[in-house]
Amino acid sequence: MNIVVCVKNVPFTREADLTVDATGRGICTDNLVYVTNEWDDYATETAVRIKEERGGTVTAVTLGCEEDEEVLRRCLAMGADAAVRVDPGDLEPDASATAALLAAAVRTLPHDLVLTGVQSDDFNHGVVGALLAERLELPHVAVVNGLQIEDDAALVTVELEGGQDEVARVPLPALLSIQTGINEPRYVSIMGIRRASRIEITVLPASGLGLTAADLEPALITEEIYVPPEAEGAAMLQGDATTVAAEILRLIGEKVGL
Amino acid sequence: MCPSASATEPFSPQSFIAQANAYTRALHNPLSRVRWFREGLFRSLSTVPEISPEQIWYCTTCRACLEVCPVYIGAHEPIKEVRRAEIEDGSRVSPAVMNALEMLYRFDNPWEPSKKKRKEWARTLTVPDLTEGVTAGLCYWVGCTTSYDTRAQSLARAFVRILTQAGVEFGTLGQKEVCCGDIARRLGEEGLFEEQVSKTLDLFATYGIVDLVTSSPHCFNVMKNEYPPHPGAPFRVRHYAQVLDELLVQGALRPHVSLDLTVTFHDPCYLGRYNHIYEAPRRVIRSLPGVKLVEMAHSGADSLCCGGGGGRMWQELEGEVKLSEVRIQEAAVTGAEVVVTACPYCLIMLEDAVKTANLDLYLKVMDLNELVVQALGIGEDET
């Protein structure tokens, strides 16, 4: 079984001080540390486990510049066999253009199964998987938290609301967006990354993928990014439980006019 | 006495070594190349309990097994090798270990996703920064745990005030300090260890550092005994207990405030068993007016580990008894009012144990520097 897994290098923003850049439409990334998008880690682990069980190949694909190759080297260290980087050049692709570029790259690779993460930890749109499936004309299942591969189909579990699961049989080839928690991704050692750095990464320039201007036209245009202004109206209540409870009652009474 | 085994955890250095021995003999027996013998050899292994991957994470690498073994075999060295293999395989590494190593890889410390916060321990204290043009002979290597953990931070503040009081010219590497790599090596992440060593040596070269003093016996040990021969200028590294001892002997420090305290000293494994520094911290304690030192049932080479070594600070392991609580009970029965230690891990572990064992009304946990500051009468630490 040949599997393609799409991965992304994203900034680690937990406890980072985010600031808006000079254009007003982006975030300053100079001081941010980049990591593999968490969801993609689970998708890669899923792919590698299927390969270990059933044979075949795993190819990791990312859209990004040379520094983003780290994410591919980690995939190779986890057990992927090959890696492809789509170089966007001067393009600044949104989710729609990203799907177009990835689709063009995936078409050049043999694929019985394409995996993505549910969303990426930077903008969290969560649409690239669905858009990519549409471009590749593949059946798509989102938020997959369980997967069993049969000969020409995948038995897919999807998390619904209220602790309910839905199980569906999807014919292969298909595209699945993998949810965190589907497995426990393995640890990638520095030695492993060093060994993986010997594997050559294929670079596909966006300009050579035969895409038209219409294909790459953004579906989303960011007008402005700003830090939400501090709102008023929060009050810290002091005192013991009885005092605080009485104060809460008084405040509620005031608000609803009791 | 193995602290893990004696706390009834599922690990025993003796059976680990016996198992490792049986497996190694079978795997490397020349006869194992002959099919008929090989089958027999491996059949014989079925009677030996298998080395479980979980078992190896219990070892605190405290080296107590080495001290009691009549043929001087310690479990910590082979454990390190098995951990290396587990890290390379990657599939059974616990999320806690993974998180600590990932953090270390990305942010140069195993505690927090921030390089910036490394300097925050100093609070309002002015600390000379060698990376900002200060020249001083001595570099104080604060270390990750002392820099990031709120309890351990006061160790560093106390030490800085002592050095200042003694008129020692010193500086730290401020925000540029990195992890020395010790924790990576203890957890079996050899590649990361190598990266951290190279980053540390680069810092030494950039800022011309040839003389160091560390907060942690762990940084001290790894730099002293495990760093590769330095291609540039060789450096000297000491633990702060040695420096305090020297300053007292030289008369640069004059403790004059009588503390009227009975204290006991908990030997950190990496200071004691790894480097045989038992007397320096005790001499420091004895030199403080009004301080009486009593010993625990296990002390010196026979000391009991606090349970924080070998990467156990970063793991949640199941055990019926907390190793640190065993130790704090030992400290409590000496009748001492304070248990003094000289390692940030021990400080955190024992501080925690004194509370969970409900002994905090009778027993206080202090770092050696904190005690010395009191005897020097140079004020209380801000809280």
Do residues B216 and B348 lie in contact, with contact meaning Cβ atoms separated by under 8 Å?
no
Contacts of A239 (CB under 8 A, 6+ apart): A247
- CA closest to B90 among chain A residues: A187
Least confident of B26-35, B214-223, B274-283, B344-353: B26-35
Residue B48 has pLDDT above 70, yes or no: no
Question: Best residue in B84, B88, B91 to probe A by mutation, most A CBs within 10 Å?
Answer: B91
Could you tell me the CA-to-CA distances from A129 to A74, A185, A211 in Å, in that order?
Answer: 21, 20, 19
The answer to whether the beta carbons of residues B218 and B182 sit under 8 Å apart is yes
CB contact under 8 A, A78 and B90: yes
Average pLDDT over residues B174-194: 96
Q: For B323, what's the count of Cα atoms within 13 Å in the CB-facing half-sphere?
A: 28
Tens of pLDDT, residues B304-326: 999 999 999 888 787 778 899 99
* One-letter amino acid of B365: V
Burial of B48 (0-12, 13-18, 19+ CB in 10 A): middle
B47 pLDDT more than 80: no
Quick check: helix, strand or coil at residue B122?
Answer: helix
**Lookup: tokens for B51:** 């080395």
Could you give the CA distance from residue B65 to residue B135 in angstroms, rounded to a whole number? 44
Task: Name chain B contacts of A191, Cβ cutoff 8 Å.
Answer: 88, 190-191
Residues B100-110, mean pLDDT to the nearest whole number: 95
Residue B101, chain A, CB below 8 Å: the answer is yes
Q: What percent of chain B has pLDDT over 70?
A: 96
| More confident position, A67 or B50 | A67
Nearest residue in chain A measured CA to CA from B104: A190
Mean per-residue pLDDT for A39-61? 97
User: Residue B49: pLDDT above 70?
Assistant: no
Q: Which candidate from B91, B114, B191 shows the least CB-CB separation from A190?
A: B191
- Give A-chain residues touching B90 at CB under 8 angstroms: 78, 186-189, 192
Looking at beta carbons, which residues of chain A come within 8 Å of B97? 187
The amino acid that residue B61 corresponds to is T
Q: Does B179 touch chain A (CB under 8 A)?
A: no
d(CA B64, CA B61): 8
- Looking at per-residue pLDDT, the higher value among B120 and A30 belongs to B120
Residue B176: is its pLDDT beyond 90? yes
**CB count, 10 Å around CB of B315?**
15
Question: Under a CB-based contact definition with an 8 Å cutoff, are residues A25 and A224 in contact?
Answer: yes
Q: Tell me how far apart the alpha carbons of residues B55 and B92 are, in angstroms, rounded to a whole number.
A: 12
What band does A13 get if pLDDT is binned at 50, 70 and 90? confident
With CB atoms and an 8 Å threshold, state whether A191 touches B88: yes
Who among B91, B113, B190 is closest to A191 (CB)? B190
Main-chain phi, psi angles of B340, to 5 degrees? -105, 140
Overall residue count recorded for chain B in this entry:
383
User: Are B88 and A189 within 8 A, CB to CB?
Assistant: yes
Closest to A217 in 3D by CA, of A36, A87, A91, A88: A91
pLDDT at B229 over 90: no
Contacts of A144 (CB under 8 A, 6+ apart): A156, A157, A158, A176, A177, A178, A179, A182
Residue A17: predicted pLDDT: 82
Residue B212 in this model has a pLDDT that exceeds 90: yes
The dihedral formed by the CA atoms of B216, B217, B220 and B225, expressed in degrees to the nearest 10 = -150
User: Which residues from A are below 8 Å from B when comparing CB atoms?
Assistant: 12, 14-16, 33, 35, 78, 184, 186-194
Q: How far apart are CA B54 and CA B289, in angstroms?
A: 48
B189–A189 C-beta distance less than 8 A: yes
Three-state SS at A84: strand
3-state secondary structure of A29: coil
Whether B192 and chain A come into contact, CB under 8 Å, resolves to yes
Is the ipTM above a cut-off of 0.90?
no
